[in-house]
Amino acid sequence: MDEFKRAVAEAIAKAAGMPQEEVMQLIAVPPDSSMGDYAFPCFALSKQMRKSPVEIASELQRKVRTGGLIEKAAAQGPYLNFFVNKAMLAEAAITAVLREKDGYGSLKLKGKKALIEHTSINPNASPHVGRARNAILGDALARLLRFHGYKTEVHYYVNDIGKQIAMLVLGCEGKRKLEFKDLLDEYIRINAEIEKSPELEQKAFALLKKLDDRDKKTIAEFRRVVQLCVTGQKRIMEGLGIKYDFFDYESAYLWSRKTEEVMQKLEATGKVFVDDEGRRVINLEGFSLAMKSPVFVLTRADGTSLYGLRDMAYNIEKTGRAKGRNIVVLGEDHKLYFRQVEAALSLIGLKAPEVVHYAFILLPEGKMSTRSGNLVLLEDFMRQAAEKAEKEVLARNKSISSSELKKLAEAIGYGAIKYHIIKVSPEKNVMFSWEQALSFEGESAPYIQYAHARICSILKKAGSNNKKIKSSGLNYSLLQAREETELAKIIADFPNAAAKAEEQLRPHIIANYTQMLADRFNSFYHACPVITEDKGLMDARIALIKAVKQVLETGLGLLGIEAVERM
RNA sequence: GGACCUGUAGCCUAGCCUGGACAAGGCGACAGCCUUCUAAGCUGUAAAUCCGGGGUUCGAAUCCCCGCAGGUCCA
C-alpha cells in the first residue's frame, strides 16, 4: 500500500513543487472509499499561494500526472482525491502475501534479541481474570516480537517470599493433603482471620524472618506451597496456550550476594542514607516522583533486603540477558513503584525495561481481589467459554468426533476469552460481564475464526482448482467489485498494522485489524461468489481469499488464537 | 492534598501519539436476507452536547489550560 501512497506523494510533489516527504505527511484517507483512496488537503498551501484551497485543488488536478499506479485524480472541494489502479493494488497485495506466507507483515529483523517478563502472579491462588490481562497481553507481545524477528525469551517472576505468601504458608500449616484448588479458600480464610486478630500477622513476619535465616523447615514449607501454586498456574496458562521460558524466583535474591552487589553500587552514588526507622533508603530527589518524600526503601533496619532491592537485582540481571529489547508487563498499580526502580537504576547508570501498564478489570463490586474473594476465576471463565463453544459447535456439526469437538471448543472458547481481553487498549478499565465476555458474535474471536473457516470451506469445495492456483498469471483486473478492492486494500495494510503494534507495544491494534479484515471478507463473501463458471474470475478470487486466509491466520496467531478450519 | 490513566449513541469500544471532509465498529432495538461457497453471517433504519468550560488553529474527539466524574498510586 505504501508504494501507492508514495506514487501519489510523488505526483503531488512534482505538480506543487513541494518536497515529497512533506507531502507524505499531509496525505490523508477520504472518509469514504467511493471518494478515493488517498486525499491531499489543500488548506496548508492556501496561505503561501494566496488562493483558496478549492482553487488549488482544481489547479493541482490539472497539473498532476496520472497513470501507472494512479488511475485518476479528482478535485473535490478543497481536497484532491486520488484513485489507485485497482488491478495493480490487488495484484501487489495478493502476490506479496502468497509469496511471503506467514512472514507477510513481518519486519524480518535479523540478529535482534528481546526479553519479556509477564504474568508474574503471586503464588497464592488460582488466578482471576484480572491477572489474566497481564498474561494475555504479555503473551501477545511476545508473539509480536517473535513475528518481527526478535529472538525472544519469556520470563515469569515468582514472588515467593512476600508477606502474602507467608500468610498462605501459615494458613496451610499442618495441612497434609493440600491441593491447588484449596489454596484460594485457604488464602481468603487466613486473610480474614488476620483481619480479625492482627497478632497472627506477627506469625507471618516470624516466618519471613526464619526464611531470611535460611531455616530448612521453613524453606521447605514455603517451597511446598509455592510449587503447588506455580504448577497450577502454569497448567492453567498452558491451557490457554501461554508458555514461559524461565521461572525466576525472588527467593534466589534473598540467599545470594546479588543484592549486596547492587547495594554497593547504590552506596557509591552517595545518595543512600539511613532513615529514622533505621532502614537504608536511596534519595530520589530530582526525579519528579509524585511522593511526599522521594526515596526508595532498600533494606529493613536489620540490613536484610526488601522487595525493591531484590527487584533491582532482578532487573539488572534481566538487562544483562536481554541484549536488546527488555520489556515488562505490569498493572497500573505499579506505575509509581516502577518509576522508582527506573530512577534508582538510572543512578547507577542502568536502563530499566520498557514497561507496558494495564488497568484493572472491574466487577460491579469493585476491582477483582484474591484477598477479598471478589473475583472471577480464570479457570471458571475458561470452562464456561469452552462449554458454550461446545454447544455451539454441536448444534452445527452433529457428526463430529469427541476429540475434535473438545479441541474446537477450546480453540473457540479460549479464543473468545483472549480476544475479549486484548481488544481493549490496556490503559482502559474493563467492566467484566459474563454476557459480553462470552459473546461469540460481532467483535469477537469466533467471528474472525468463522471467516477463516468459511474460506477453508470454499477452498475445499473448489477442490483441485486451488492446488493449481499460482499467484502469477492471474487476471487481477477481474477483481473490480467494491468488496474486492476493499479486501485487497486492507490486506495491503497489514504490514502497517503489524509494525505499529510492535512499535507501540499495543497488540489491540492487531485485534482491531483482524476484526476489520474478517468484516471485509464477510461482505465480500455475501456479494461475490468464489466458485463460479467464469474460470478466470474464480482463479483470481481464490488467490484473493487464500491471501485473506493467510493474513487472518497470522493476525490471530499474533493474539495467540487458533485459526480453525471448521466451526 | 499531590501525581498518572480514563471519560466517544441505551450499553461496550476504535479513532487521540502524527489536527482535515457528514465521528467508525460491535451489543441491544427495529425492518429485511438461508432450494445457491457454513445465518457464529449479510443489508438497511433509528440512536452521539465526542464529560463541561476556555484557548491555539483556516480547521479540534485529537494539541494547551481550568474544572467535574471513575480507576490507580503516594512505600
Q: Which nucleotide minimizes the distance between its C1' and the CA of A428?
A: B6
- Judge whether A448 lies within some domain: no
Q: State residue A93's pLDDT score.
A: 96
Quickly give A459 CA vs B43 C1' distance in Å: 25
Confidence (pTM): 0.95
Using a CB cutoff of 8 Å and minimum separation of 24, what contacts does A406-410 make?
A408/A564, A408/A566, A408/A567, A410/A239, A410/A386
A361, A123 contact by CB (below 8 A): no
Cα dihedral sign, A398-A401-A405-A411: negative
Q: Which nucleotide minimizes the distance between its C1' and the CA of A335?
A: B73
Q: State residue A127's pLDDT score.
A: 95
- Judge whether A136 lies within some domain: no
Q: Which nucleotide minimizes the distance between its C1' and the CA of A516?
A: B25
Average pLDDT per 10 consecutive residues for chain A, totaling 567 residues: 88 90 90 92 86 92 92 94 95 96 97 96 94 97 98 97 92 88 93 88 91 93 96 97 98 92 95 94 92 92 92 95 93 96 96 96 88 92 97 92 95 98 96 94 97 96 65 85 95 97 97 98 96 93 97 98 96
Strand partners, A280: A274
Three-state DSSP class for residue A431? strand
- Judge whether A33 lies within some domain: yes
Range(s) of the domain holding residue A72: 2-84
**C-alpha radius of gyration, chain A, whole number:** 29
Determine how many CB atoms are found less than 10 A away from the CB of residue A450: 19
Q: What is the ipTM of this complex?
A: 0.96
Rounded-to-integer distance, Cα A79 and Cα A46, Å: 12
- Judge whether A376 lies within some domain: no
- Judge whether A318 lies within some domain: no
Q: Which nucleotide minimizes the distance between its C1' and the CA of A391?
A: B40
Quickly give A431 CA vs B49 C1' distance in Å: 25
Task: Locate A103 and state its grid cell.
Answer: 512472514
Protein-covered nucleotides of chain B (CB closer than 7 Å) are 1-7, 12-15, 17-18, 20-28, 36-38, 40-43, 58-59, 70-75
Quickly give A212 CA vs B31 C1' distance in Å: 72
Task: Say which residue the cell 464477510 belongs to.
Answer: A522
Kindly report the CATH number assigned to the domain that includes residue A14. 3.30.1360.70
- Judge whether A414 lies within some domain: no
For chain A, the first-to-last Cα distance in angstroms comes to 32
DSSP annotation string for A3-71: HHHHHHHHHHHHHHT--HHHHHHH-B--SSGGG-SEEEE-HHHHHHHTS-HHHHHHHHHHH---BTTEE
- Judge whether A16 lies within some domain: yes
Three-state DSSP class for residue A303? coil
Name the domain count of chain A: 1
Rounded-to-integer distance, Cα A75 and Cα A51, Å: 15
Reference A556, options A487, A499, A500, A498; nearest CA is A498
Q: State residue A472's pLDDT score.
A: 65
Q: Which nucleotide minimizes the distance between its C1' and the CA of A483?
A: B42
Rounded-to-integer distance, Cα A162 and Cα A559, Å: 32
Quickly give A189 CA vs B60 C1' distance in Å: 54
Rounded-to-integer distance, Cα A517 and Cα A246, Å: 35
Quickly give A257 CA vs B41 C1' distance in Å: 62
Q: State residue A324's pLDDT score.
A: 86
User: Closest protein residue to B1 using CA and C1' atoms?
Assistant: A292
- Judge whether A403 lies within some domain: no
